[in-house]
Structure 1
Amino acid sequence: MKEKPTRREKLTQIPPDIAAVNDYEKLAKHFISHPHFEYIAGGSANEITLKNNQKAFDDIGLYNRVLQDVSQGSTELTLFGEQYRHPIFLAPVAHQQLAHPDGELASAAAAEAMEAGFIASTLSSTTLEQIANTTRYRKWFQLYFQDTKAFTLSLIKRAEKAGYSALVVTLDVPINGLRNRAQRANFTLPQEVREANLEGKPSPTQRQLNRTQSIIFQGIMKDAPTWQDLEWLQQQTNLPIIIKGILHPADAARVKEMGFAGLVVSNHGGRALDGVPASITALPFIRHRVGAEFPILLDSGVRRGADIFKAIAYGANAVLIGRPQMYALAVAGALGVAHMLRLLREELEVTMALTGCSTLQEINTECTFTQPQ
């Protein structure tokens, strides 16, 4: 029996036993070390939210429709004034060289090949400028607030200069969730995997705490961003700003009232606060609160083209793909990521055809039903 390949072997074709996106996850553990895989695959604490992200999609049923003419079908959409061939974006995923030596450069190249929007992470293994030079296709920059406004502003100006067309500001992890699976696997970030965009960042000021103070409340969270910091951010750029990490309808309403361009309904792939709702569960409540026209994207739990269909039916304009990006990257580099995107797009088209929807605009809750419990 032939042994499974390792990441050191350069695959020049997609393994023949990959028929769906989840097949990449099964193979990925043979291409990267156990601690790296556990860090990528793991969620927070008891991983309740991680498990519910996919279960919630599975609990939504679909109605097929017969004798519908979909011969002029299309998955095209417009977001923030830009035209896209399909509603599938690569989510901002940190430290992609954990999966493959080419890291974000491979993912960005795959996104361009498949005409998918690419979102570069603040914590990418290669600089935002290197990523921008890899692709001429549409790309956004994901921003984490830094310890100082000066360094945060420097990242924004670099993104503007490099040609990124939107900012995605992630707010749901001012402090990391309880990454117990990664802890049990003794995961540490290898020296060769750097946070390239943060090189040259000033060392944070060490705050002295007395014995009555909390390292969480008076320590780490002392410098966490607030709504006032978002107001400051709006004054620093003319790029569309999309707020990521929204689950509560009241927060969504405030984002809209403040004049931001859109939001991402996300629980950070179950890696932040364990026990929060699945993103697809929270989505319809947020859509109801902000109205029909406000742009919403969704991430966390999307593994099938049918999941993308369900997200659109429940109110999303587009979806972001996170972990599958890393699994496909680990197995086959840029080729794997492009293949993963193609699988999802083709599955979405099959789902649309069998439900009688020729455009994304025709997808709505009347196409779905709730599975009995």
Structure 2
Amino acid sequence: MIKLSDIPKTLEQVRDMARTKLKGICAAYPSCDGNFDKICQREAYGKPIGLGGAGQGRSFRANTEALAKIEFNMSVLGDHFEPDTSSSFLGIDLRFPVLSSSTAGAQNYNDALDETQFCTSILKGSKEAGTIGLRGDTWFYTLENHPSLNAMKACTGFGIPIFKPRSQDVLKQLIEKAEEYGCKAVGVDLDGCGSTIMARQGMPVFRKNVRDIEELVRFSSLPFIAKGIMMPEEAQKCVDAGVSVIAVSNHGGRVLDSTPGVATVLPLIRKKLGKSVTITADGGVRTGYDVLKMLALGADAVLLGRDIIRAAVGAGTLGVKLHLEHVHQTLIKAMFMTGTKNIKMADSRILFNQD
């Protein structure tokens, strides 16, 4: 039986619990940036990647560095207002445009949490915070026992599964299950083709061409998300193939070293696609300040990955809820101090430009 004293009341308590459970893997640092003084990156050589970045972690660091270079225009003149953070994603009303990203494999982290429990905690915590969670896919997820889909079923479909780029036939079977469980959308982690662990475990993943994507879009009755896009030209090809959402992402810097940060390429992709296409972004986002930067650079919604893993491992559903509420509060503060009255007003005008 859980004692009342063991239930965390603050985000820092959640992080302390995560540090204990993730000992040797992640220390839940105040600054999660992929530098070599961090446990996740020091342990990268010759070992499973864990929460670190690929190679020397340059892509991981590029994500945080790109966001750090973005500065706000602080605006303090004008009528008083209360920021309105409400938004919509694929017709789903959200309290704020921050989604839990499509992570997976928590049971590899010191067996800190059962995988289905991990997935369910993220979906429930996201919903309780007023948003929605994506769920991922990894080598021990099978058609017969897929923890992400199991959690979706338990949560009456309130979530979005993002599958690894498996064979077309397997993807179609997974999509059928997602439709059966009432999921809100489906997607493929296109950059997951760089997941070596899948192939090593007999679960091959593949590069997908435009015809493959068109085939999956036509097959599914649900909105389709193409995740892992980092080039404007490839984003346009996905849109032309019928994709509903472009998820700008370098997989948290975990599949290819030396990519630019997501915040660097995001405005280029938005410029290429125009305003009519829904775009999400992830990579280096830690606070509501980072969220507002991504929105101003062109994202319609922002995804959180590593921090949500730590929150779920630390305190399950409550941990996820507490973390998302912290991000929400810092987003409100950032909007207030930049004169951003609502989410639609978040654009490049609130960003400092020395030119």
TM-score range, shorter chain: 0.7 to 0.9
Query: How far 1:95 sits from its partner (Å)?
Result: 1.4
For 2:88 and 2:263, the matched residues in 1 are separated by: 22
Q: TM-score, normalised by structure 1?
A: 0.78
For 1:32, the equivalent position in structure 2 comes to 22
For 2:65, the equivalent position in structure 1 comes to 55
Q: How does 1:1-373 map to 2 (within 5 A)?
A: 11-14=6-9, 17=12, 24=15, 28-35=18-25, 38=40, 39-69=49-79, 71-97=81-107, 98=109, 99-101=112-114, 102-123=117-138, 127-136=147-156, 138-147=158-167, 149-176=168-195, 223-369=206-352
Number of aligned residue pairs: give it.
320
For 2:33, the equivalent position in structure 1 comes to none
Confirm or deny: 8 A CA contact 2:251 2:283 kept in the other structure: yes
For 2:80 and 2:242, the matched residues in 1 are separated by: 37
Query: How far 1:226 sits from its partner (Å)?
Result: 2.1
Comparing 73-82 with 49-58, greater Cα deviation is found at 73-82
For 2:287 and 2:295, the matched residues in 1 are separated by: 13
Q: Deviations over 1:178-203 (max 9, x none)?
A: 9xxxxxxxxx99xxxxxxxxxxxxx7
Query: How far 1:370 sits from its partner (Å)?
Result: 5.1
For 2:121, give the aligned amino acid.
Answer: A
Comparing 267-276 with 97-106, greater Cα deviation is found at 97-106
Structure 1 residues 28 and 151 mapped into 2: Cα distance closer, same or farther (>3 Å)? same
For 1:367 and 1:137, the matched residues in 2 are separated by: 37
Q: Deviations over 1:136-195 (max 9, x none)?
A: 574111122323x332211000000001011121111312279xxxxxxxxx99xxxxxx
Q: Secondary structure of 1:336's partner?
A: helix
Comparing 55-64 with 120-129, greater Cα deviation is found at 120-129
For 2:45, the equivalent position in structure 1 comes to none
Q: Secondary structure of 1:224's partner?
A: coil
Q: Secondary structure of 1:352's partner?
A: helix
Confirm or deny: 8 A CA contact 2:282 2:302 kept in the other structure: yes
Which ranges of structure 1 fall in alignment gaps of 5 or more residues?
1-8, 179-187, 190-202, 205-219
For 2:149 and 2:55, the matched residues in 1 are separated by: 35
Larger RCO (CA under 8 A, 6+ residues apart): 1
Between Structure 1 and Structure 2, whose CA radius of gyration is higher?
1
For 1:265 and 1:46, the matched residues in 2 are separated by: 22
For 2:26 and 2:76, the matched residues in 1 are separated by: 46
For 1:363 and 1:174, the matched residues in 2 are separated by: 33
Q: TM-score, normalised by structure 2?
A: 0.82
Query: How far 1:313 sits from its partner (Å)?
Result: 0.5
Alignment root-mean-square deviation, CA: 2.7
